[in-house]
Structure 1
Amino acid sequence: MHRNKHPRGTRNSRHEKKKYPFSKKIIFITTFTISFILICGGVYAIYAMQHTQKEISLPEDEEEQYEQKETSLLEKIRKKQHHEDFETTEQEKTEGNIQTLIYEPVAADSIPQLPAIKTELTTLIDIAQKNSSKKTETKLVGYVKREKINEQVFSYQPIVDTYTWDREKEDWSEKTEHGKNTAFVNQKTKQPLCLQDIFMSEANTLAIQQVVQQKLLSESPDGNAVIDGILNMPSISLDGTAFTYYSDKISLGLPENPTGKTEITLPYNEIAGYVNPEFIDADSIKDALPKPLESDKKYISLTFDDGPNPDTTPRLLDILKEKGVKATFFILGQNVVKHESLVKRVADEGHEVASHSYSHPQLTGIDAQTVKEEVQNTDKAIYHAIGKLPTDFRPPYGAVNKDVAAIIGKPIIQWSVDSQDWQSHNAQAIIKRIDETAYNDTIVLMHDIHPETVDAVSTVIDHLHAEGYEILPSKELLGKKAKPLHMYYGSNDERLVQ
């Protein structure tokens, strides 16, 4: 009955015979794969070690050349530091292929900012180490560079020189990294250079404030939109204003203002009359100031108050143009807003436009806020008319004191010859008065709102020319360096406002 069926044992044996060869094949493939991987890995490891060795080690034929140039380089580095005009100490450290040499000044008391300089030097060294290849011979040299700006100012700056061995050229390549901060030291005081050294006085800082205001307005797309904020900016402070010193210019930090600028740079030739020449590069202000008036010549300035007046000022301008004379107009803000085109003509024809307050009050008899408004409202009116702020100021009735002068923030231009036209209203009396009282280097007071004054001007000019006078605007008579908090009666009569 079961004759045609295979016994169980015989069927199992046949399956085993089929299974065994398959297992042997798996073992063979596995063994072969592992062996192949090991062999390849070994070959790669040997190659990598050889390749790395080539990058780290110098070839034997290059070793001698390298050692000679290394010795020469180190001699050069140490010789350079030895010849610096101040003594240093050397600190040496070697890690792998990177050798670091740091030179620190010995006379630390001559550099009050040395701790900050050392901190930045350490940072520069750390960055240089991180950026240096560990596989290339490198020398890092950190030191403080000292430079003589002039007799009164020395600068100190952290420097890192990186020397890297170039195998192709078989020589050192050099790269220098300068610190971002430079310390300047006043050699007289051995203290950090400060604004007091450069600007010297509050009067000079007020003058520079005017330059800053005008510069911000000139660089603004719409000066009239920002003028209020600019005129009300806090003044430059000798001890509170951040600055960056250069030998030919200075950058001043700005308080918050509508232009959004946080810093402004002023070349010294733009503020030449208000900086201490001992602390700057003399070439930076060369020819920036006008030459002194010639001692063998006579000079006088004609000034006109209270205008402009559309009935009299145009005729006066015609006379001045005919005579080739430039004058100074101390104008009232309330008249400027009424006659802007006339003010523009005054400026366009080369005359000086200066401020005489807005409504002609006696400034010493009103409160500080009103004084400020009288000054600023006139500044704005004049700026709107001619695009420039007035830089000089004549107080109504000549009345001024120290507090008022500080609010005005401009040089106070008084007079030394009074035509008394406001009293006489007579052309011949005006001519006679000036003929009798004029003298060299003086400022003449007149008013362009009086017809009689305009009637007298042509003869006044002829008489002055006949006496040998050269007629100048008051700014030129004073050498373009009059200062706030000071008042001027002539080029040789300057007084501090008390």
Structure 2
Amino acid sequence: MRNLKPIFHAGVCIALLAACNSKPSNDKTAADTTKTVAAAPAGPGSPIKYDSSKRYIFLTWDDSPQPPGTVVSKRIFKEQGVKATFFAVGMHYDIDPVRKRILDSIRNEYPQFLLANHSYSHGFRDNYNKFYTMVDSAASDFAHAQQQMNIPLKIVRMPGRNNWAGKGEFRGPKSSEKVARRLDSLGYQVIGWDLEWQFVKGSAPKQGAAEMVRMINDKFESGYTNQPNTVVILAHDRMFGKAPYTDSLARFITLLKQDPRNVFETIDHYPSVMNK
């Protein structure tokens, strides 16, 4: 029996080596090595590639959070599968916990929604003449809003003024240009608008859905916009809090989606912002 032990041990080793070297088709370890790791979702400010055959529409809603309008607009955008930017006001955010949760949800739902800066005090509570003559205070007001609402990018819209500023280029009213220049020097992009969905008394939309679509088409066809092949639309959250204006917003987007050239984007993908 002593003479058989070495033979037995050798046989076991050979069998073990054969088992280790074999590669069955259902080997989980081998299969795991072929898995592709999903890329992390891009954050705010990530670039996109423009398609020259498309028309880019930027839905930008001001004065958030203003329930129920903010909540309703957000729901319609989600149902329609379109992107939008909410320019928020710090003093509205600080009113109560409900408004904080609304704005926090916008911040957390990128890439569909982008949160941007519309100042803390909304121009000293609409006292625009004073706000834009006090350059240091105005700049501090935007900085406070940026920090208070944890806004991801330095993109602002100036209350009550259609100013554009970035890369040393300035457009808009002279009365607010000094503040626009100060914000530009601090690294902010100032975004105006090409077309406003206006409101009348009681914050009711002035134009109907079909009229707004016609006006957008006219803008694209004339090329009279701040950047080629793009239209930035301004509206206010509070306009769409109640029927029938809720239905008007839904119809507006439905009509725009009927044109396959139309693409909806958040304002961090506006050409001048991406190229800063």
Asked if the contact 2:119/2:145 (under 8 Å) is kept, the reply is yes
Asked if the contact 2:64/2:87 (under 8 Å) is kept, the reply is yes
Moved over 6 A (4+): none
Letter in 2 for 1:429: Q
Equivalent residue for 1:349, pick from 100, 109, 113: 109
Q: CA 1:378–1:294 in structure 2 vs 1: closer, same or farther (change >3 Å)?
A: same
Post-superposition shift, 1:421?
Answer: 2.7
Post-superposition shift, 1:349?
Answer: 2.1
Who is 1:378 aligned against?
A: 145
Who is 1:41 aligned against?
A: none
Who is 1:315 aligned against?
A: 72
> SS at 1:460's partner residue?
helix
CA distance in 2, matches of 1:477, 1:454: 27
1:167-178 alignment, distance < 5 Å? none
Who is 1:420 aligned against?
A: 198
Letter in 1 for 2:233: V
Letter in 2 for 1:322: E
Letter in 2 for 1:476: H
The yes-or-no answer on 1:358 pairing with 2:120 is: yes
Provide TM-score, normalisation by structure 1: 0.36
Q: CA 1:424–1:311 in structure 2 vs 1: closer, same or farther (change >3 Å)?
A: closer
CA distance in 1, matches of 2:133, 2:208: 32
1:219-298 alignment, distance < 5 Å? 289-291=47-49, 293-298=50-55
Post-superposition shift, 1:456?
Answer: 2.2
Post-superposition shift, 1:379?
Answer: 0.9
Post-superposition shift, 1:443?
Answer: 0.6
Q: CA 1:289–1:310 in structure 2 vs 1: closer, same or farther (change >3 Å)?
A: closer
Q: Tell me whether 431-440 or 389-398 shows the greater mean CA deviation.
A: 431-440
Give the fraction of aligned pairs with identical amino acids, expressed as a percent: 24
Provide TM-score, normalisation by structure 2: 0.62
> SS at 1:306's partner residue?
strand
Q: CA 1:309–1:347 in structure 2 vs 1: closer, same or farther (change >3 Å)?
A: same
Supply the RMSD in Å over aligned alpha carbons: 2.7
Q: CA 1:290–1:471 in structure 2 vs 1: closer, same or farther (change >3 Å)?
A: closer
The yes-or-no answer on 1:304 pairing with 2:82 is: no
1:39-438 alignment, distance < 5 Å? 289-291=47-49, 293-338=50-95, 339-350=99-110, 351-361=113-123, 362=128, 365-383=132-150, 388-398=151-161, 400=163, 401-408=176-183, 409=186, 410-421=188-199, 425-427=203-205, 429-438=207-216
Q: CA 1:376–1:467 in structure 2 vs 1: closer, same or farther (change >3 Å)?
A: same
Q: CA 1:422–1:358 in structure 2 vs 1: closer, same or farther (change >3 Å)?
A: farther
Equivalent residue for 1:462, pick from 241, 245, 254: 254
Post-superposition shift, 1:445?
Answer: 0.7
Asked if the contact 1:420/1:433 (under 8 Å) is kept, the reply is no
Asked if the contact 1:333/1:382 (under 8 Å) is kept, the reply is yes
Letter in 2 for 1:481: M
Structure with higher strand content: 1
> SS at 1:429's partner residue?
coil
CA distance in 1, matches of 2:134, 2:52: 43
> SS at 1:397's partner residue?
coil
Who is 1:154 aligned against?
A: none
Post-superposition shift, 1:365?
Answer: 3.2
Asked if the contact 2:180/2:190 (under 8 Å) is kept, the reply is yes
Deviations 1:328-381 (A, max 9, x none): 111111012232211111122221101111122227633123212211221121
Deviations 1:306-345 (A, max 9, x none): 1211222112111111111110111111012232211111
Asked if the contact 1:424/1:430 (under 8 Å) is kept, the reply is no
- Which of 1 and 2 has higher RCO (CA within 8 Å, sep 6+)? 2
Q: Gaps (5+ residues) in structure 2? A: 1-42, 164-175, 221-228
Deviations 1:392-448 (A, max 9, x none): 111012255442123323111111111113568445824144122103410111100
Letter in 2 for 1:314: V
Q: CA 1:294–1:422 in structure 2 vs 1: closer, same or farther (change >3 Å)?
A: farther
> SS at 2:64's partner residue?
coil
Who is 1:481 aligned against?
A: 274
Q: CA 1:399–1:441 in structure 2 vs 1: closer, same or farther (change >3 Å)?
A: closer
Asked if the contact 2:197/2:205 (under 8 Å) is kept, the reply is no
Q: CA 1:375–1:422 in structure 2 vs 1: closer, same or farther (change >3 Å)?
A: farther
CA distance in 2, matches of 1:424, 1:480: 34
Letter in 2 for 1:360: H
> SS at 2:67's partner residue?
coil
Asked if the contact 1:300/1:477 (under 8 Å) is kept, the reply is no
Q: Gaps (5+ residues) in structure 1? A: 1-269, 274-287, 484-498
CA distance in 2, matches of 1:479, 1:423: 34
Letter in 1 for 2:120: Y
CA distance in 2, matches of 1:425, 1:379: 27
CA distance in 1, matches of 2:142, 2:155: 11
